[in-house]
Chains A and B, each alone.
Chain A
Amino acid sequence: QTVVTQEPSFSVSPGGTVTLTCGLTSGSVSTSYYPSWYQQTPGQPPRTLVYSTNTRSSGVPDRFSGSILGNKAALTITGAQADDESDYYCVLYMGSGFWVFGGGTKLTVL
């Protein structure tokens, strides 16, 4: 069974740039997986950041950007701010109506 992989945790300095990735235990992520990214803070529902690889959701600052890097989907945060400290989840469309979330990345800004 294919698993969607994310870094469990990541740290970035305020003002810095960080790239979170979303891969597969078997195979490469491409645009055909329609990768999307979500931000979640404790006690809140997820917030949609990026969909279809690189399209920002309405109201999302342009310092969040999505892409394919090598064989993974990626979310890059440029100019990290304190309130970017959150959990970040990717989800991939596996075809035939099935979706699978990654395990999430806990981002610390310090």
Chain B
Amino acid sequence: QVHLVQSGAEVKKPGASVKVSCKASGYTFTGYYMHWVRQAPGQGLEWMGWINPDDKAHYAQKFQGLVTITRDTSISTTYMELSRLRSDDTAVYYCSRARSMHASDSFDIWGQGTMVTVSS
């Protein structure tokens, strides 16, 4: 069974960075795109970026220069690091495995979410 298990909640100060992990199991980790999506309290879903089977990362324009998505294939884990945090980065952050190794295949399996709170 396919599972994505994310790291626990974080509280950070403005200007700091946060790194959220997403550990995969139940499938061939290297064969799929992995996306990151966030959701601010009471708001909708917002796509942030992905990392593909070739280890290339790609980001929404809004997050260029702020987010870095990486992965460690030896432990089937993907990471999303967001820097220069602001209060409006307070959100639940989700990893989501795509359906396949194609950029146009949408989100399939979701992690449970990680709450990141940015507060002074």
Interface residues of A (CB under 8 A from B): 34, 36, 38, 40, 45-48, 51-52, 57, 87, 89, 91, 93, 97-104
Contact = CB atoms under 8 A, between A and B. Distances in A.
State the 8 A-B residue pairs at the shortest beta-carbon distance, nearest first: A36-B106, A45-B110, A104-B44, A99-B47, A97-B58, A101-B45, A51-B106, A103-B44
A26 to B, nearest CB: 17
B45 A104 contact: yes
Main secondary structure of the interface of A (DSSP, over half): strand
B71 interface: no
A100 B47 CA distance: 6
Interface residues of B, number: 23
B113 to A, nearest CB: 5
B96 to A, nearest CB: 8
Interface in B87-114: 94, 96, 99, 103-113
Contacts of B111: 45
Contacts of A97: 50, 58, 103
B46 interface: yes
Nearest to B110: A45
Interface string B67-98: 00000000000000000000000000010100
A91 B98 CA distance: 13
Nearest to A92: B106
A7 B106 CA distance: 21
Contacts of B96: 46
B94 A46 contact: yes
A47 B110 CA distance: 8
